């Protein structure tokens, strides 16, 4: 199984906690870890950390890469999929992954 994590959005609904440059998926709301970290942990438990991809936008690619590195994953091709068009396009879900 290959896990795909949706990590897009501009963070407008949780304002003032989240900002456009640092939206909700990077916030720690329930625990000391961010929502993305919690999701990465669940995905690693189900499909293994080496079998996952994260869909995000260009503005957040380096933050996502830093989160992946915490789990021993490099931001290699196919690991971070960038949304080519505005919010919630999910066009990358139709692309094949290895």
Query: Residue 3 has what pLDDT?
Result: 85
Helices 35-47/61-70 angle, 10° precision: 50
**Residues with Cβ within 8 Å of residue 78, at least 6 apart in sequence:** 53, 97, 98
* Mean pLDDT score, 62-68: 91
Residue linked to tokens 């795909």: 4
* Mean pLDDT score, 45-72: 86
Query: Residue 32 has what pLDDT?
Result: 92
Residue 37's pLDDT band (cuts 50, 70, 90) = very high
* Domain coverage including residue 51: 3-94
């Amino acid at each position: 199984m290959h896990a795909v994590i949706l990590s897009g959005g501009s963070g407008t609904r949780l304002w003032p906690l989240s900002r456009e440059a640092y939206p909700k998926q990077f916030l720690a709301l329930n625990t000391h870890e961010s929502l993305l970290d919690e999701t990465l942990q669940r995905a690693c438990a189900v499909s293994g950390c080496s079998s996952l991809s994260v869909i995000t936008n260009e503005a957040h690619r380096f933050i996502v890469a830093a989160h992946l590195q915490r789990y021993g994953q490099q931001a290699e091709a196919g690991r971070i999929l960038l949304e080519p068009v505005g919010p919630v396009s999910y066009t990358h879900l139709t692309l094949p992954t290895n």
